[in-house]
Amino acid sequence: MNYGKYVFSQVMEALPRHDFDSCVQKYQGEQYAKSFSCRDQFLAMAFGQLAYRESLRDIVACLSSHRSKLYHLGFQSAVAKTTLAKANERRDWRIYRDFAMILIEKARKLYIDEPGIAEDVAGACYAIDSSSIELCLSLFPDFPYVSTKASVKLHMVLDMRGSIPMFFDMTSGKVNDVNFLDLISFESGAFYVMDRGYLDFERLYAIHKASAFFVTRAKHNMLFERRYSNLVDKTMGVICDQIIFLTGVQTEKKYPDTLRRIKYRDAETGHVYIFLTNNLVVSAYSISLLYKHRWQIELFFKWIKQHLKIESFWGCSPNAVKTQICIALCAYLTVAILKKRLGLKRNLYEILQILSASLFDKETLAELFSNDSLRNDTDDAVNTLSLFGF
């Protein structure tokens, strides 16, 4: 047994303190702070995520009931609801966005050896998508809205090796998804998989000029001409594999190079899909397999909405909402980092469930997650959503 440190403090030790302080100094996060530091704010909000708290009042009440333990949990001062709410409202949310980006780099290095999707796909594979989180319009009047609903949209580039976010941004709900492509620095040789909502040939050509590859779905009214067709193995579900060029008045100017058009029938559902890519080397079946794995980002959004506290917000300003989302992602990344460093064979849902009930224990993390009595039954494990396939 570890009689020196609580489980929560052990989890927070995985966070790089120097990098966090650098983010705070960059945006002068503690310029007017008297006692409640940015680290205390982060610890309180992260505790709320890991402990499944429902509100700021819930967080403060829980921490106040363990007031004698706060110093050993890493807090420099007691947490008051008003103080925490004002910090979320006023302190620049970019502090926690930049810190999340630092954790992303650390997590990606740990998951770089995850198996690839297809043997002939050597580069990194990323899925691009967004998810709208609806807000109550009367409580969030500062958010631009669509129809009668206010919403914030979380845009994400997800590394499909380990389901680790590579880059993210937040906008109002009325911002078009395709604008997110303008913010991404595309890696040479990497694959970017996206749905038809990102079908903008001018932006796709920018990916092509960056020596990166894209995989997306074609629209049925796309104007094109076929140059030649490649041989296909129809037993794999590939119907045709064509090299084409666009003939539309505008699309021909926006994408003057050749494209590859692949028609594929899913054996499980019988649905026919038409894919577009600028990669002319990878097999047609591998291209369809890449798009099939794009579903990982849908699972990611579903997972964080179910298991992290971003569906009910703890503040009513854009800054508070963005702060909460960024710290929720930091909590996700922290657990993902611990999972790899400790060699845990549990999925993230199990890890978070165990942590939520053990944050005030003094058991070591290795002992906590190796206790056979805490293992879920097989039937329960089947019903949980696993991002890591365990």
pLDDT: which is higher, 151 or 333: 333
Residues 11 and 92 in one domain: yes
Instruction: Please report whether residue 76 resides in a domain.
Output: yes
Report how many domains make up the chain: 2
pLDDT reported for residue 3: 55
> Looking at residues 88-114, what average pLDDT do you find?
92
- Flag whether pLDDT at 364 surpasses 60: yes
* 258 CB-near residues (< 8 Å, 6+ apart): 227, 243, 244, 245, 280
Element (H, E) at 159: strand 149-159
Do 19 and 84 belong together in one domain?
A: yes
The domain boundary residue, chosen from 231, 259, 282: 282
Residue 23 shares a structural domain with residue 85? yes
Is there a domain that residue 12 lies in? yes
Residue 216: what pLDDT?
A: 96
The pLDDT of residue 70 is 92
The pLDDT, as a whole number, for residue 384 is 44
The domain of 28 spans: 7-96+316-382
The answer, yes or no, to whether residue 174 has pLDDT greater than 50, is: yes
The angle formed by the CA atoms of residues 196, 198 and 202, to the nearest 5 degrees, is: 120
Mean pLDDT of the chain: 86
The C-alpha atoms of residue 218 and residue 238 are separated, in whole angstroms, by: 15
Domain assignment of residue 209, yes or no:
yes
pLDDT reported for residue 308:
67
Determine whether 191 is exposed, middle or buried from the number of CB atoms within 10 Å of its CB (0-12, 13-18, 19+): buried
Confidence of residue 191 (pLDDT cuts 50, 70, 90): very high
Q: Are 259 and 277 in contact (CB under 8 A)?
A: yes
As given in the structure block, the two tokens for residue 262 are 């692949």
Does the pLDDT value for residue 99 go beyond 50? yes
Q: Which of 232, 262, 282 is the last residue in one of the domains? A: 282
Q: Which has more confidence, 153 or 224?
A: 224
Q: Looking up tokens 């954790």, which residue turns up? A: 103
Q: Which residue did the predictor score with more confidence, 204 or 118?
A: 204
Quick one: average pLDDT of 203-209?
97
The answer, yes or no, to whether residue 10 has pLDDT greater than 90, is: yes
Query: What pTM was computed for the model?
Result: 0.82
